[in-house]
């Protein structure tokens, strides 16, 4: 994939990808003679020495393995129980297992469950936004692994991995969809089929991050459609995105998938904004 701009972050992204490709090439060359796995390991050690991986937050070299440096890692806030059994909204204090938050009790979401390893805050937002907007796709494996670790046996309960789509106009500008990149990694690691074109975003919208939940609701209604009903009918779908803010994107994607016949929809995101889902009236 080509860097989207000549910015410094883009250049670093290109350098990191070069690092990965070089590792694969180097590992493959030696692997042919003395065993591919061993060759891959030597390739990785050599590449880590020449081009050490960088912390996705502060860009300091990380010596042992790709990941956050110790300082940035210690600032991350991981979601922990108790949280809502449907939308994973974090609760304070003691709550019974599988309890639902007020919004989910009032009207359960269209998706069946949601998982997010991180809380979206000052410490996690920088690297996630860089993954989204600054061509930092070399951190996809790190975030995907982190996300999978939140629900390590989920692969047994899903049949198809589907990313939240972005509009083609945005894709042309950004050159990649971070949700699709995460989904591709998850599907490969869990040996699940990937439904890249299952969902479509029919209308171009401005970035939704700054909108109020009500405005977001109005924008997101009827924006997603399922293009491949035959692929999702009777299937347990795993919907992947980077961040869950109000849960409305996941809600409307899940509705499209369920209308197309999906049996279940689970949602897996890197981080969750600790906000309650907006209450949805029966009419919406
Ligand atoms: Zn750091
Ligand atoms: Zn909930």
Over the Cα atoms of the chain, what is R_g?
A: 20
Residues 163 and 214 in one domain: yes
Q: Domain range spanning residue 24? A: 8-51
Predicted local confidence at residue 258, as pLDDT: 96
Q: What is the pTM of this model?
A: 0.80
172 in any annotated domain = yes
Answer whether the bond into residue 219 is a cis peptide, omega within 30°: no
Nearest Cα neighbor of 216 from 280, 129, 162 is 280
User: Is residue 137 domain-shared with residue 261, that is, in the same domain?
Assistant: yes
Q: Which residues of 209-235 are buried (b: 16+ CB within 10 A; e: fewer)?
A: eebebeebbeebeebbebbbeebbeeb
d(C-alpha 218, C-alpha 214), whole Å:
6
CA distances from 272 to 161, 168, 181 (A): 19, 25, 18
Could you tell me if 28 and 147 lie in one domain?
Answer: no
Q: How far is the CA of 142 from the centre of ligand 1 (A)?
A: 13
**Helix or strand or coil: residue 162?**
strand
Which tens digit of pLDDT belongs to each residue from 208-232? 777 777 778 888 888 999 988 899 9
Q: Are 184 and 206 in contact (CB under 8 A)?
A: no
192-201 burial code (b ≥16 CB/10 A, e <16): bebbeebbeb
pLDDT tens readout for residues 59-103: 888 876 778 999 999 999 998 888 898 998 888 877 776 788 888
**If phi over 0 gives left and psi between -120 and 50 gives alpha, with beta otherwise, what is residue 253?**
alpha
Same domain, 27 and 141: no
Alpha carbon of 119 to ligand 1 centroid (Å): 17
Query: In terms of domains, do 139 and 22 share one?
Result: no
Flag whether 153 is in a domain.
yes
Pair 47, 85 in one domain: no
Distance 248 CA to ligand 2 centre (A): 12
Average pLDDT over residues 184-191: 97
Q: Are residues 47 and 80 in the same domain?
A: no
Tell me if 85 sits within 8 A of 100, measured CB to CB: yes
Query: Could you give the number of structural domains in the chain?
Result: 2
* 93 & 201 share domain: yes
Residue 28 Cα to ligand 1 midpoint, Å, equals 31
| 205, 171: one domain | yes
Ligand 1 centroid to Cα of residue 165, in Å, is 30
**What CATH number is given to the structural domain containing 246?**
3.40.50.2020
Query: Which pLDDT value is given to residue 269?
Result: 96
Planar angle of CA 186, 197, 207, nearest 5 degrees: 85
- Cα–Cα distance for residue pair 5/11, rounded to 1 Å: 8
């Amino acid at each position: 994939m080509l860097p989207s701009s000549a910015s410094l972050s883009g250049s670093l992204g290109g350098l990191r990808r070069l690092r990965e490709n070089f590792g694969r090439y180097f590992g493959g060359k030696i692997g042919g003679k003395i065993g591919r796995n061993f060759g891959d390991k030597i390739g990785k050690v050599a590449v880590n020495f020449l081009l050490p991986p960088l912390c996705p937050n502060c860009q300091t070299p990380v010596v042992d393995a790709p990941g956050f440096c110790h300082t940035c890692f210690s600032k991350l806030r991981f979601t922990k129980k108790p949280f809502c059994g449907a939308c994973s909204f974090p609760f304070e204090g003691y709550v019974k297992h599988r309890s639902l938050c007020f919004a989910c009790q009032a009207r359960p979401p269209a998706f069946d469950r949601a998982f997010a390893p991180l809380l979206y805050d000052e410490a996690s937002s920088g690297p996630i936004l860089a993954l989204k907007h600054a061509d930092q796709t070399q951190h996809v494996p790190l975030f995907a692994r982190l996300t999978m670790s939140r629900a390590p046996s989920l692969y047994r309960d899903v049949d198809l991995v589907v990313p939240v789509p972005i509009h083609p106009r945005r894709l042309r500008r950004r050159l990649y969809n971070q949700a699709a990149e995460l989904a591709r990694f998850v599907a490969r690691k869990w040996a699940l089929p990937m439904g890249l074109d299952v969902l479509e975003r029919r209308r171009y919208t401005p970035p939704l991050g700054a909108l109020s939940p009500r405005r977001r609701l109005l924008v997101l209604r009827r924006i997603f459609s399922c293009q491949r009903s035959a692929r999702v009918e009777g299937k347990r779908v795993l919907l992947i995105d980077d961040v869950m803010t109000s849960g409305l994107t996941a809600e409307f994607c899940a509705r499209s998938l369920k209308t197309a016949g999906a049996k279940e929809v689970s949602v897996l995101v890197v981080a969750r904004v600790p906000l309650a889902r907006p209450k949805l009236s029966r009419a919406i």
